[in-house]
Amino acid sequence: MLREATLKDIEKYLNFSYNLSQDLTTSAFPTYLDGIKTKNDFYKSAYSSFSKSNSKILLFINNDEVLGWIDFYWIEQDHYLGFNVFNIQNNQQEAIEEFIEFSKSRYPNYTIYFGFPSDNALSIEYLKSIDSERIDENYVYTLNFEKYSPLEYDGDIVSINIENWNDFRDLHDKTSDIYWNSDRLFNALNSKSNKKWNIFLYYEKNILKGCIYFVYTPLLMEIFGIDYKDDFDENIMRSLLINCLNVSKSDNQKHTTFFVEEKERKIVESVGFNFVAKYELYTINLSD
């Protein structure tokens, strides 16, 4: 069964949950095996989730034994259910099934986003067996900027501004079903949050051929994506990626993470990224 955690529960089971996060077979994304997030970060995140109005921590209990810890949050305007932690020692199938049932009456018409490393085979096998949809599959890499030296790149790369915004919007919004569309990115660029967004554009002969968008958070720099006017282009990706890393290092960023496709792996490895895990994202729609 699932039971909402009390402050006493958090203090009692926090270390147990952290230990589960140190095994890809018993944990989910975001991972604490990336060499970036620490045990202290895990503890801070748990207490933050407990205090927020749009998140809860549930204990997964089987035969009176606590087997797991689910830290989830919701975004009402987007009907979005996601996870900060989904750590289950065993009986993963039962934990997922119970969370779906728990959510149906509380969050009708929401979509649950389950992101697991491929190593968590029991969770993924169960999601494949039910009415879920795999919407993403990537390889997760990280980079430590202390070990990165700026590299040279080709191409005319410029920062986003009001004059070239329409160029970016036309290119980026060709993919209509992404969460971070140009409207959300525009709002994020102009917000006063503790996250700083960056967008750089790659031009050839005054024609926009590609772009990269990434964000500085209090913990790390995260690359969200690279778009192309035409097909995937290794040179454009490498140039945009190096520009992004050079700028981030000069801005004193410490770490970065990047989710890439199979065809992109050799490029990120060539500039110093390290592989963490393969990531799979599944959705469940909680329709009436």
So what's the pLDDT on residue 249?
A: 98
Q: How confident is the prediction for the chain on average, in pLDDT?
A: 96
Residue with tokens 């890809």: 24
Asked whether the predicted pLDDT for residue 177 surpasses 90, the reply is no
pLDDT band at 178 (very low <50, low <70, confident <90, very high): confident
Helix (H/G/I), strand (E/B), else coil: 12? helix
So what's the pLDDT on residue 233?
A: 97
pTM of the predicted structure, to 2 decimals: 0.89
Q: Once rounded to an integer, what is the mean pLDDT over residues 133-142?
A: 96
pLDDT band at 287 (very low <50, low <70, confident <90, very high): confident
| 269 vs 35: CA distance, rounded Å | 16
So what's the pLDDT on residue 162?
A: 93
**Around Cβ 76, how many Cβ atoms within 10 Å?**
9
Smallest Cα–Cα separation from 83: which of 129, 131, 120, 35?
120
Give the DSSP letter of residue 119: T
CA angle 135, 265, 250 (to 5 degrees): 105
Question: Which amino acid is it at 172?
Answer: H
Contact criterion met (CB below 8 Å) for 108 and 284: no
Smallest Cα–Cα separation from 59: which of 36, 82, 106, 91?
91
| 180 vs 244: CA distance, rounded Å | 18
Backbone angles phi, psi at 110, to 5 degrees: -85, 165
Asked whether the predicted pLDDT for residue 288 surpasses 70, the reply is no
Asked whether the predicted pLDDT for residue 25 surpasses 90, the reply is yes
Burial category of 269 from C-beta neighbours within 10 Å (exposed 0-12, middle 13-18, buried 19 and up): middle
Q: Once rounded to an integer, what is the mean pLDDT over residues 203-216?
A: 96
Q: Once rounded to an integer, what is the mean pLDDT over residues 81-89?
A: 98
So what's the pLDDT on residue 179?
A: 81
Smallest Cα–Cα separation from 197: which of 216, 182, 180, 211?
216
pLDDT band at 190 (very low <50, low <70, confident <90, very high): confident
Residue with tokens 């900060």: 84
The domains located in the chain, with CATH, are 2-137+280-286 (3.40.630.30), 148-271 (3.40.630.30)
Q: To 10 degrees, the CA torsion angle through 143, 274, 71, 83?
A: 90
pLDDT band at 283 (very low <50, low <70, confident <90, very high): very high
Backbone angles phi, psi at 190, to 5 degrees: -105, 10
Angular region, 254: left φ>0, alpha ψ -120 to 50, beta rest: alpha
Helix (H/G/I), strand (E/B), else coil: 74? strand
Share of the chain above pLDDT 70, in %: 99
Residues 6+ apart with CB under 8 A from 24: 31, 33, 117, 119, 120, 277
Smallest Cα–Cα separation from 124: which of 265, 21, 26?
26
